[in-house]
Structure 1
Amino acid sequence: MASTATNPAGYQGRYAQSFQLFLQRSTEHKSIFGFIDRILQDEFPSLGDGKSTLNVLGVGSGGGEVDAHVLDKMQAKHPGKSISADVVEPSSELIQNFKALVAKTPNLENITFNWHTMTSSEYENQVKDKKEAKRFDFIHMIQMLYYVEDYSATIKFFHSLLKQKGKLLIIHESANSGWEILWKTYKEALCSNTISAYQSAGDIKVHLENLGLKYEEHDIPNTLDITECFIEGNETGQLLLDFMTDKPYFYEKTPPDLRAGILDLMRNKCSTERDGRIIFNGNLTALLIHP
């Protein structure tokens, strides 16, 4: 979750801190990297057929860890070819993290970056205002669709930016994951800040089918250690709860009965216990969409 349509500043301050803590406590990046290495990189060779330059677009790229991994693997599949990477991310704080990552990663030194510190909807409006849109060989939207107002229209727009033989990758929380159980059970309480209507990858598949888009589906197992969320006064747990509920200072500001209900659901319906730790089901689904 690294882009937002309703909060132009994106992840800043305490919320950026809680996001970084979430990444540290979950297997999310490791799991996504595994998917890229096992499956996605095999798609890269065909993207560059007959081309001297490849254009890549990351939408909601956060601090750039996944983008950097994608670009490294793509560059390895296309040695000698130039790569232009456009980055759309509304958080200036995370953009700076991304730039710092690029500066210390040797394999990215020959890639040209174009930075767009804006939301996906702002980028869409900017593109539509121009007479000719830039086209891309590969577009990825990883954990960001939660923050758009219209999933279907957003997918349709970014799909329209693909070159011939290009691919669009969406990675999103799986149907029946702990995230879906939590957010759909407590949708009235939780869908009131930057996320107005929660949808899982199962819902996205319906959008793709209604749009007539062909796609491949891949499961990405993922977990999150939320043990500290159940220790009253624990700062780590409180920051994780802020991120997981999209509510700053959730523990302090949520009515006790509602807070107790959410915590009970997270522990007993969304998680399992392993060696005394509470492990949240954060499974993801990768949807690789054809042009």
Structure 2
Amino acid sequence: MASPLKRLITESDRYTESFKRYKECSVGYQGMQKFMENLVPDLFASIVNGKSQLNVIGVGSGTGDIDLQMFSVLHQKYPHVTVDSEVVEPDSQTLRIYRDLVSETPSLDYIQFHWNEMTLEEFQKQWKEKKINKKVDLIHMFQVLYFAVDLESTISFYQSLLNKNGKLLITLLSCDSGSVRMREAYKNQLCPGETNLSTGNIKNLLDSKGVSYQSYILPSDLDITDIFTEGDENGEMLLDFLTNSYHFGKTASPDLKAGVMEFLRRPDCSVESDGKVNFKNNFELLVLDQLI
């Protein structure tokens, strides 16, 4: 039976606001910041390797938080290096926020941005149709492979764009994330059509093909306390984002809502302490080299 729930991603305004609340309540971005500070400089060392310009593609760049932080780390270490950045993001409002941020930040003049309001597969099709032969030094895909129609061909395509010493970064929820446990338990209701709920499928695919990769866990907790306060707008936004549903609290059946609310508090999903409910929401980053 088809799910009666409307996907959050189809409602741009609600999605943007829900994502904003999610970021405010999440320490996941702190984990990403730590990764940037500790690992990215070494990563860039092998990528830059004497170059004066890097070609970069950000797929699922959102409002630009991760992109710009990564570029900041690069610029601090290699101030002479310029960046040519293709930004791929299907949500018009989210992309507009990113563009406005760039236009308001003169210090980003070492970056040339190209804006692509499209999905990762539309970008792939466009690249092939235009027969673009430019090689890319860094591609980062942040939480965009959930809806990939053909996971193998998608990864192979983007990996094939890499220059020598180039890197493909793929970030998804880790297998032990509470979000993954919940979506797997309510897969038919919450995420019909999603086949890549975590890095698990990707690692299985890469292992079966003998493709080597590096893996890094990015610890993340999410304060979901407000979800359990009836009528709390912040809590309703968070619940929408976690379930990828538009107004989940108002449109889900009573049984589904009760089940999800109970699932969120399970000991393998959350830790309750001092009146707070902290949801385990770890990410995993996979680093792939050039396709040989």
TM-score by length of 2: 0.92
Residue 242 of structure 2 is matched in structure 1 by 244
Amino acid corresponding to residue 121 of structure 2 in structure 1:
S
Gaps of 5+ in 2: 1-6
One-letter code of the match for 1:14?
R
Q: Which residue of 1 aligns with 2:49?
A: 49
Measure, in 2, the Cα distance between the counterparts of 1:21 and 1:81. Answer: 34
Amino acid at match of 2:96: Q
Hey, what's the Cα distance between the residues in 2 that align with 1:133 and 1:90?
Answer: 23
Aligned to 1:229: 227
Mind listing any 5+ residue stretches in structure 1 that lack a counterpart?
Answer: 1-6
Which of 214, 218, 221 pairs up with 1:220?
218
Number of the residue aligned with 2:4: none
Judged with a 3 Å threshold, the aligned counterparts in structure 2 of structure 1 residues 11 and 104 are, in CA distance, closer, same or farther, namely farther
Letter in 1 for 2:281: G
2:145, 2:196 within 8 Å by CA — same for their partners in 1?
Answer: no
Percent identity over the alignment?
38
Check the 8 A contact 1:174/1:285 in 2, yes or no. Answer: yes
Map 1:1-291 → 2, pairs under 5 A = 12-192=12-192, 196-268=194-266, 269-291=268-290
Whichever residue aligns with residue 19 of structure 1, its letter is F
Equivalent residue for 1:4? Answer: none
Cα distance, 1:11 vs structure 2: 6.4
If asked which structure has higher relative contact order (CA below 8 Å, sep 6+), I would say 2
Shift of 1:27: 1.1
Residue pair 1:228, 1:236 contacting (<8 A) in 2 also: yes
Q: CA deviation at 1:79?
A: 2.2
How many positions carry a matched residue from both structures? 282
RMSD: 1.7
1:87-112 CA-to-partner distances (Å, cap 9, x unmatched) read 00011111111122223334422211
Conservation of the 8 A alpha-carbon contact between 2:11 and 2:246? no
Offset of residue 169 of structure 1:
0.6
SS of the residue 1:63 aligns to: coil
Give a deviation string over 1:116-136, Cα, whole Å, max 9, x none: 111111100001112233321
Helix, strand or coil at the partner of 2:265: helix
**In structure 2, distance between residues paired with 1:177 and 1:81:** 37
TM-score (norm 1): 0.92
Q: Please name the residue that 1:3 is paired with.
A: none
